[in-house]
Structure 1
Amino acid sequence: MDADQRDLANPFGMDTDCRNCPALAECRERVVHGYGDVGGEFLVLGESPSAGAEATGVPFTGDAAGRRLQSLLGELGLSRSPPDADEPELQNVFCTYLTRCRHPERAATDEEVRACEPFLNAEVRMINPEIILPVGQRALEALAVAYTTRSPESFDVATEHATTIRGRGFELVPAKPFAEQTEAETDALREHLLENVLARDYRQTKGRRER
């Protein structure tokens, strides 16, 4: 963790009363911004907060899917907390979403995703991760537009789950939504990260800042 980081929750002080999407602002419980180590070399990107994450205010917590990811982060040495922690002690990883507000009855619209792009772009720019784990098809397609040479339509998260895709300045390791993964798929993701990412020098020669 960067020495000057004071808080894992919303460390960049992003707007917690954002009202750019009126339909979401009227029904949300809270805005769920990114959480984790601002010096992290790993970034986990989901589509939008689950009911559990909205309740805790922390991405990928508060439900079974969150516990599955947090357990994985612990096994990778990226978390010092038990999987059911509402505020996990993360190191070298940052978790965030395409959209920061949850609608209880539907997915975010394309317009709502675009409204949140400045938040995500700022986080990616300031964190400058080496590895991004897009969780779900929508997160994978969103990254494809800006950070790969492939068209979004060429990606399928189910077939590219637990593989590595070269991006512009970092690598992508796609993952199916944790609520939909079988135990075998979670095992495959863990093994890929341990054997094909963490076991080698994944850092790219792009002028990483000194830590």
Structure 2
Amino acid sequence: MDPAQEHPDNPFGMDADCRNCPDLCDERTTVVHGYGDVAADFLFVGGRPGPGADRTGVPFTGDPAGRRLQRILGDLGFSSSPPDADQPELDGAYLTYVTRCRHPERGPTDEEVATCDAYLTADVRMINPEIIVPVGQLALRHVAVEHTTRDASTLDVADCHATTIRGRGFELVPMLDPAEQTDAETAAFVEHVGESVLNRDYRQTKGRSGARD
């Protein structure tokens, strides 16, 4: 983690009591803002907090899907903590969501996604990553609208999982929702990032070397 960084939890001081979406305020446990290394090259973006993150306040923690993603981070060298850690020690990775509050009975509405967009935009600008990992269908389409020339409505995360998509200023490496991944799909993602992304100088080869248009 950046040695100048005081703590990994909501390091940019975003509104921890945000009340911009009235229908969510009484349903959520906590507002889940970003977490991790502010000097990260890899930005992992989920669609909305899982039940574990809603409890812990830390993205991708506290439930089986979170533990799967934390194992992936460990396998790639981004985490030195066990997969069940509620506050993992991350180096080179930052975790965040398209929307910051969880409704236990439904996914986010289009209005809620739009309302939260300023938070994600701020995360992207302040982290300025080399690689964005959209986790799940909602995250892929939302990130693709802003950061690729592709028609986001045509992108299916199942088809794009463990591939590289050329972005505008970034590369996108989509990932299936960890709650839906098989062990083989997890292994494919780790292999792709480990062999095709980390083992080349992605800072110099963005938009080339195997990246899709």
- Give the TM-score of the pair, scaled to structure 2: 0.95
Q: Which amino acid aligns with 2:119?
A: F
Task: Give the structure 2 partner of residue 5 of structure 1.
Answer: 5
SS at match of 1:99: coil
Separation in structure 2 between the aligned mates of residue 83 and residue 204 of structure 1, nearest angstrom:
32
Q: Which amino acid aligns with 2:72?
A: L
Q: CA deviation at 1:78?
A: 0.3
User: How many residues in Structure 1 have an aligned counterpart in Structure 2?
Assistant: 206
Q: CA deviation at 1:57?
A: 0.6
Q: Percent identity?
A: 65
Task: Give the structure 2 partner of residue 32 of structure 1.
Answer: 32
Task: Give the structure 1 partner of residue 200 of structure 2.
Answer: 200
Q: CA deviation at 1:27?
A: 1.3
Cα displacement string for residues 57-90 of structure 1 (whole angstroms, at most 9, x for unaligned residues): 1000001111111011011110010111000000
Matches within 5 A, 1:3-152: 3-152=3-152
Cα displacement string for residues 40-71 of structure 1 (whole angstroms, at most 9, x for unaligned residues): 00010000011111111100000111111101
Q: CA deviation at 1:205?
A: 8.0
Structure 1 vs Structure 2 CA RMSD: 1.1
Task: Give the structure 1 partner of residue 209 of structure 2.
Answer: none
- The answer to whether residue 175 in structure 2 is matched with residue 175 in structure 1 is yes
Q: Which amino acid aligns with 1:90?
A: L
Name structure 1 gaps, 5 residues minimum: 207-211
Separation in structure 2 between the aligned mates of residue 125 and residue 205 of structure 1, nearest angstrom:
21
- Give the TM-score of the pair, scaled to structure 1: 0.95
Which runs of at least 4 in structure 1 moved beyond 2 Å after TM superposition? none
